[in-house]
Amino acid sequence: MEKNINYNEKRKISFFSILVNLTLSVIKMVGGYISGSAALTADGVHSLSDLAASVSVYIGITISGKKSQSFPFGLYKVENLVALISSFAIFFAGYEIAKDVFFGETMIIKNLPVAVAVIGLTVIITFLYSRYEKKKGEELNSPSLLADAEHIKVDFYTALVVLVGIVANYFGFPIGEKIAVLVVVVFIFHSGFEILKEAVKVLLDASIDNDTVQSIKEILDKEELVEEVKLITGRNSGSFKFVQLNLALKVETLDEAHELSHKIEKKIKDKIPFVEKVVIHYE
């Protein structure tokens, strides 16, 4: 029951993240167009890449709630395929922005109030949302929400860099805005690279990450009936982790072993986000 509440809550918050990133990309790109600011337009593209990432997380969470008999293993990876394609789109956008700013004509700020208003809104939205998401992440003990909250906080600081750049350009120092664009392009490539790395790892069935293995080990070490942990492994699919354990158990009957492995599976799923299944072999 508690797991369902957490599931719905996470799904709700990941939907909020989509709305926030959608709002940010639209107001920044429209504001960038009206004001003539390259830095603001670039930051809009950056928000668009964040939007791609939050949509793929939302799809992943939603798919986990819907089982399909026809695709017991396959469906999750649609999400990674979408992520892979969007990472190339993000790199391309980053390249286009960098090219325009460094080799194109210098852009003139036509409308400073619009640019300042959009950045003001961005600063308010990112400040409030990162605080809200951090609080929820702590409540739900969710590393993915906490990481997203940190990311939004970075977006908050990025907006301030963009503001300085625009004001500098407006007062006759276009180099200031070029530097701001450079900062944003670094963030765009960074998001693109993170998305690409995750997608490729998952598509190639890389093992689950070390942090997850370590947290599982900590959970198992506290179990008195686990005599020895022989192997912790698994793979990712979509946003989800499929864990496989080889354990030596201090139990007499098969029933006891069965019951214990259910208990262990539940503990792991409660503690570690996005674990879809735990298969336990015991001896």
Closer Cβ to Zn ion, 194 or 265, answer by number: 194
Instruction: Give the whole-angstrom CA distance, residue 178 versus residue 102.
Output: 7
Task: Find the shortest distance in angstroms from Cβ 11 to Zn ion.
Answer: 21
Closer Cβ to Zn ion, 143 or 174, answer by number: 143
Q: By CB under 5 A, name the one of 155, 176, 241, 278 that touches Zn ion.
A: 155
Instruction: Give the whole-angstrom CA distance, residue 8 versus residue 77.
Output: 22
Phi and psi dihedrals of 226, rounded to 5? Answer: -90, 115
Q: Does residue 238 sit in helix, strand or coil?
A: coil
Would you count residue 50 as binding Zn ion (CB under 5 A)? yes
Q: Which of 49-57, 93-101, 206-214, 268-276 is the region at the interface with Zn ion (rule: CB under 5 A)? A: 49-57
Would you count residue 198 as binding Zn ion (CB under 5 A)? no
Q: Does residue 17 sit in helix, strand or coil?
A: helix
Distances (CA, A) of 112 to 31, 40, 185: 10, 11, 22
Q: Which of 45-53, 63-71, 83-91, 134-142 is the region at the interface with Zn ion (rule: CB under 5 A)? A: 45-53
Q: Which of 48-56, 57-65, 128-136, 171-179 is the region at the interface with Zn ion (rule: CB under 5 A)? A: 48-56
Q: Which of 50-58, 107-115, 217-225, 245-253 is the region at the interface with Zn ion (rule: CB under 5 A)? A: 50-58
Task: Find the shortest distance in angstroms from Cβ 49 to Zn ion.
Answer: 7
Percentages (nearest 5) of helix, strand, coil residues in the chain: 70, 10, 15
Return the number of other C-beta atoms located less than 10 Å from residue 259's C-beta: 13
Closer Cβ to Zn ion, 50 or 79, answer by number: 50
Task: Provide the binding-site residues for Zn ion, judged by CB under 5 A.
Answer: 50, 155
